[in-house]
Each structure stands twice: as structure tokens, then as C-alpha cells.
Homo-oligomer: A and B are copies of this chain.
Amino acid sequence: MQIIRTIQALRTELSRVTSKGMGPIGFVPTMGYLHEGHGSLLERARMECGTVVLSIFVNPIQFGPGEDFETYPRDEARDLHIAEEKGVDIAFLPTMEEMYPQPVKTKVAVSELTTLLCGASRPGHFDGVTTVVNKLFNIVKPHYAYFGMKDAQQVAVIQQMVTDLNLEVQVIPCPLVREQDGLAMSSRNVYLSPEERRQALSLSQALSAALEGITKGSLRTAPEVQEHLRSVISKAPLAQIDYAEVLLFPQLQAVSDDATLSSLSETVILAVAVKFGKTRLIDNVLYQPKAGV
């Protein structure tokens, strides 16, 4: 595995790779502190691509004021060890100076999809994400880019950017990976105290109970599901609910209040965000009404 820290060196190496026909290029952009969720993306890329590029860059412009940019967990040695194990060919670890040699004046922004869910609580967050992902796509020029469905809204937003701007990369959404007890894997889970960690199970429990309720018919409409999610999660005394929503996916549009979810022809996402102290966790499940038809 090559460890590359400059854009120029990466471009040179990728030209070499391309000229030798060692494609397609698969790309997994991350902020590091890798867990098995990232691992699953790397494994999928390894299976499908001739060259696998992992980037690790904690991107300041996607953090809002008062968010955890400074304290975001970092462990380069451990990340590189995991990357090596997963068969990564190139680990790209640019410095801040390399990615933002001067304050960036150009912003890539997706509207509509970014106004709700995490976009509502984290203004500017998705502009930071699309801008850095656009830069990374321009640098790496991947054929395939792998993103976890843990950040389902991010997947929808990036797919919209790729479509709108005629980028040639194919975005591959990959399943969310959970701990054995159901907690969605996240680099931010390390922030949780033991008691918060226990109560954080309320997210996945609420989602799977809601999914079961829809399937069995005890929960029929979006408002019923939302109410159910809130009531399960709020049993955890430390949980402060940010949102609990039911939307069409990937459009992220509202489902009409009286529609029977199990009769819809489109995919629906049940998405929650909950704060435990300063730690904000997100989780979601997709419901495909016609999957069983």
C-alpha cells in the first residue's frame, strides 16, 4: 500500500495506474478513525476495482461552529493498519494546506435535499461535504465511489451532485453496518459514556420496532411511525431527539400524512437523529413496500 500526502504525487501515481490498465479506480472517501462500516466499503471496492483509493481527511468546512472538528477522533497509525488489511492500494492523507491552500471561495451546494433532516440542524454541513467530495472526485477521478447508507442523506445529496454536474463517477451506496447489539457504527460512538452507550440502543430499537409495526400493520402512516419512533426513543432519559422522520428516498420528500406506507410504490426512509450530551447520533432504515411483492 502506498501512502500519499500530496495531490501532485497522487495524480502521478493514478496516471501510472491508469496507463497500465490497472483500473477501474474505486474510491472510499472518509474522515478516518475507521470502523467496520468503512471496512465494508473497502472490501466492496476491493472486490470490484483494480485500484482502491482510500482518502482520510477531516474536512473542516463540513463542521459548523461549536461542532466537534477539533475533537473529532483521529488515529492515523490504526487507520493505515486497517487499510493495509483491507487491501487498499493507495491511502491518500492530504494535509489541510494541501486541500485548502487558501480559504476556499468556491462552494458546491445542493438545494432542497439539504434543507431537512441533518441539513436543518447542521446548516452549511452538506455544502462542506459536496464541496470536498467534488474536489476529491476531481483529484482521484474514480470510476466508482463507495458511501455508507449510515449517512443516507449524504448519499442522496452526493448522487444529486453527480447527476446535476455530469460527473462520470458511479456512486455506490453500501449497507449500514451495526454493532452486535444493533448500534449503528460511527466514529463518534467513542464519545459516548457507558450509560449513554446503553441508551443509544434506543435508536436502532425504535427503528426496527417501527419497521416491524409497518410490516405487521400496527403502524400505518408516516405520522404514526414518527410518533412511535419518538415515544420509543424518549424512554431513554438522556436522549434529546433532533428529528424522527419518514420520507421518500432518495428524493427526501414528505410522504402525505394519510398515505398507507405499505401501499406506496416508492422506497421510504425512517431516519432519526438523537443527541446524548454533546454527541449527536444518526440512524436509519429503508422500507421498500414492494420488496416482498
The distance from the CB of A179 to the nearest CB of chain B, in whole angstroms, is 35
| Cross-chain contact B104 with A166 (CB below 8 angstroms) | no
| Cross-chain contact B135 with A166 (CB below 8 angstroms) | yes
Q: A134-B165, A135-B165, A166-B139 are in contact. Are A113 and B108 (CB under 8 A)?
A: no
| Cross-chain contact A106 with B164 (CB below 8 angstroms) | yes
Complexed CA–CA distance, A104 and B160 (Å):
9
| Cross-chain contact A105 with B138 (CB below 8 angstroms) | no
Complexed CA–CA distance, A164 and B139 (Å):
11
> With an 8 A cutoff between CB atoms, is A153 at the interface?
no
Q: Interface code A133-166, partner B: CB below 8 Å = 1, 0 otherwise?
A: 0110011000000000000000000001100111
The distance from the CB of A167 to the nearest CB of chain B, in whole angstroms, is 5
| Cross-chain contact B113 with A138 (CB below 8 angstroms) | no
Q: How many residues of A contact B (CB 8 A)?
A: 25
Residues of B within 8 A of A11 (CB): 168
Q: Interface code A114-147, partner B: CB below 8 Å = 1, 0 otherwise?
A: 0000000000000000110011001100000000
| Cross-chain contact A138 with B165 (CB below 8 angstroms) | yes
CB contact between A111 and one of B107, B135, B167, B168 (< 8 Å): that residue: B107
The distance from the CB of A166 to the nearest CB of chain B, in whole angstroms, is 4
| Shortest Cβ distance from A130 into B: residue | B106
Complexed CA–CA distance, A134 and B107 (Å):
12
Residues of B within 8 A of A105 (CB): 110-113, 160, 164
> With an 8 A cutoff between CB atoms, is A201 at the interface?
no
Residues of B within 8 A of A131 (CB): 165
| Shortest Cβ distance from A7 into B: residue | B166
| Shortest Cβ distance from A138 into B: residue | B166
Complexed CA–CA distance, A160 and B105 (Å):
7
Residues of B within 8 A of A232 (CB): none
The distance from the CB of A162 to the nearest CB of chain B, in whole angstroms, is 9
| Shortest Cβ distance from A161 into B: residue | B106
Residues of B within 8 A of A165 (CB): 106, 108, 131, 134-135, 138
> With an 8 A cutoff between CB atoms, is A109 at the interface?
yes
Residues of B within 8 A of A135 (CB): 164-166
| Cross-chain contact A107 with B109 (CB below 8 angstroms) | yes
The distance from the CB of A109 to the nearest CB of chain B, in whole angstroms, is 5
Residues of B within 8 A of A166 (CB): 7, 135, 138-139
The distance from the CB of A171 to the nearest CB of chain B, in whole angstroms, is 13
Residues of B within 8 A of A164 (CB): 104-106, 135
The 9 A-B residue pairs with the shortest CB-CB distance, nearest first, are A106-B164, A138-B166, A106-B161, A135-B166, A104-B164, A106-B110, A105-B111, A139-B166, A107-B109
List A residues at the B interface (Cβ < 8 Å): 7, 11, 104-113, 130-131, 134-135, 138-139, 160-161, 164-168
